[in-house]
Each structure stands twice: as C-alpha cells, then as structure tokens.
Amino acid sequence: MNQKPFLFSLSLILIFLKTTVNAASFSVGGGVGVGVGVGGAGGWVGGGVSYPNPSSSPVSNLKNAYIALQAWKSAIKSDPNGLLNSWVGSNVCGYKGVFCADPSDEMGDPSEPVVAGIDLNHGNLEGILVKELSLLTDLSLLHLNSNRFSGTIPQTLKDLYALTELDLSNNLFTGPFPVTILQIPNLLYLDLRFNSFSGPIPQDLFNKNLDAIFLNNNFFSGEIPRNLANSPASVINLANNKLTGDIPINFGYSSPKLKEILFLNNQLTGCIPQGIGMWSDVQVFDASFNSLMGHLPDTISCLEDIEVLNVAHNKLSGELPELVCELRSLLKLSVAYNFISGFSQQCAKLYDKNVGFDIALNCIPGLAMQRPEPDCDSVPGGGLSCLRVPSIRPLACGTLLQRLNASAP
C-alpha cells in the first residue's frame, strides 16, 4: 500500500474530525452538514480557487480524479442549483465542492496536490454513485447529505483507504445495509440516516473502529446485534427504525467513550439491562416509544453525567428509584406513559431544580394526570424476569459493576 496518501489522511483527521464529530452532537433530526476546506485548512484549495492545470505536468492522481468526477457528473440527472457548472476541464481543484490539498512526501518535500475532500451537502443533486469514485484514493471526506442520490453503494468504495468520514444522510438510497462500507479500512464517521435502507444491521458494524454511527430514520429490522457492546463509538443512533427483540444484555460493557445512545421509536421488548450503569460518561440515553418492560435498574444511578434520560412510552413498572432522581447532571427525565407505581420525595424535588421531569400517565395513586385505574389493574410484563442484583448505591456503582464486568461475555 502507498503510505503517502494514508499519512496525509491522518493529518486531515487532526484538522477536521474534531469539528465534524462535535458538530454532529447529535440529534435525531436532519443530516449533519459539515463544511470542509473552510478557513485554517493549510494546504486546502478548491471551490473555485484556481490551481495549475494538471495537464501541464504528470500528476497522475489529479488525472484519476478527473476521470472519476467526470464519470460521476455524467451519472447525475438533475442539478437544479447549478452546483456542477464548474465541473468543466481538467482543473479539478477548481470544481465547486471539491477540495484539494498539498501533501508532503516522506522527506517533507512538497508533492503534487490531491483531491482530499468532497462536500456537496444540500445540493439537491439527483443521480447515483459510480464505481469510478474508487479512483479518489486520497479522499478523506465525502459529504453528500441532503441530495437525491439513489440506488446502491458501489462495491468499489471499499478501495477508498484514506476515507475517514462518509455522510450519505438525507438521500434516497435503498436496499440492505451497504456492507462494502465496512471494508473501508480507516473510516471513523458513518452517517446513513434518513434513507430507505432495510433489513438487518450487520454484526460487523459494531466491530469496526467507528467513532460515530448514525443509522436512524431508515427501515432496518430484526434484532440489534449481540455485539453492540464491542463498538468504541461515542455516539450510536438507531432511532426510528423497525428493530425488534431486546437490548443486548451485555449492553453497557462498551467503551467508556460512549456519550449518546438512542433506541427510540423502534419495537424493542424485554428489560433495560443492568449493565447500563457501566457508562460513567454517557450523557444521553433515549429508549422511548418502545415496549420495554420490568423495573428501571438501580444502576442508572451510576450515570452521574447523564443529562437526558428518556424512557417514556414503554411498559415499565415498579417504583421510580430515588437514586435516579438524585443524578446531578439531569436536564430531562421522562418516564411518562408507563406503569410506574410510585416515586419518592427526592423525585418530587426535581420540579424545583428546573429539570424537565415528566411522570404523566403512569399508575401513581393520588397524583394528577395518571392512567385510569382499570389500566393499572394488569401491569404488562408482570411475569417478566429481568436480571437484577439488589444492592445499595456504593455496590451498584462500584463492586457490583466490577463483578458484572468480569463475568460479561
């Protein structure tokens, strides 16, 4: 493998990845559009900046880029904003949305420019991705959100070994999960949300060294792979799909990097695993609008950095644990539309702390805005057995979880 493009792509990560991942933080809403090649980019040129015509010197990488981009342009049926009007001639570094960089070779000497980034976000382009894109071997960023690209993902994309960020959100892609993406060796950021992908989520996704995984607002179905805990990602969004089954029992024994995990609006059943308390740094946990049952695990009290805890619109029962209401960083706690039977005075104090606390439509006697009594006569999941190890808080956040971690698969 040619090491020069790979080393160059690593330098791009340091410049751009911080901006991109932070900018993604990390809503269920529209696709993320991250500008590349804007300000402080060192050797970046493009988006209308003139560069010496590559035909005047033997620059093979730019010649390959010309072949790839012209093949792609010919496969784009509609360009209502005229985004590709500048894609004429061999000076690809002057194409709008194409960003070049001047890497240095192993000796530190200037080398020929390369196409290192493509940002066509919000272009409203209609077309497909072509196999010739694999010629862009120095490409580090490919951002295509909010267009009308359709069809499937070319198998040749696996050859983009310098690619670290791939954003295909808000398009019209269909078919099963594009497993060829998992063969891109250095990918860190994957955004497939707001498309029409369907079928199961492959297990290999959570074995890949990704920092951000956005699969929300598709039609993925089947169970969540059992190796979810293997993922080192800081953000995982599986919301608004058709996933079934339970949350994997080893969920929680994942990387301490995890900050946000979203399961909302699927068809999940079973219990919330006790291992959730292993995430000392998690800030957002949203499993609302599912059919989860059983009691909330006491280990949620270990989530001292949690800001949003949303388990509304499920079939949870039992009392709301007092320790959960004492979480110091809470900004929103919603257990609405469940079968919760009681809560402590400590939970009532949340109203005085400007915490968005919603406990409406449960089964708490004497409290306003609760379910009618007949609804509470038969609590769903009464026979459901959740793995729970009773303990006081020091054990729940320390010794107990160490023991659980040691026995986890």
Are 212 and 234 a contacting pair, CB within 8 Å? yes
Burial class (CB in 10 A: 0-12, 13-18, 19+), 399: exposed
pLDDT at residue number 251: 77
CA terminus-to-terminus distance, the chain: 36
Q: How far is the C-alpha of 128 from the C-alpha of 163, rounded, in Å?
A: 19
What percentage of the chain's residues is helix, strand, coil (to nearest 5)?
25, 20, 55
Does pTM surpass 0.85? no
Q: In what order do the strands lie in the sheet with 339-343?
A: 293-294, 315-320, 339-343
The domains of the chain are located at 60-199, 218-408
Please indicate whether the domains covering 60-199 and 218-408 agree at the CATH topology level: yes
In three state form, how does the secondary structure of 76-88 look? Answer: EEECCCCCCCCCC
Residue position matching structure tokens 């951002």: 143
Q: Closest by alpha carbon to 90, among 126, 72, 64?
A: 64
175 three-class SS: strand
The low-confidence residues of the chain, meaning pLDDT below 50, are 1-59, 105-107, 389-395, 398-401, 408-409
Fold of 60-199: 3.80.10
pLDDT at residue number 224: 97
pLDDT at residue number 43: 34
Burial class (CB in 10 A: 0-12, 13-18, 19+), 372: exposed
Q: How far is the C-alpha of 84 from the C-alpha of 98, rounded, in Å?
A: 10
What CATH number labels 218-408? 3.80.10.10
pLDDT at residue number 71: 98
Q: Are strands 308-310 and 212-214 parallel, antiparallel or unpaired?
A: unpaired
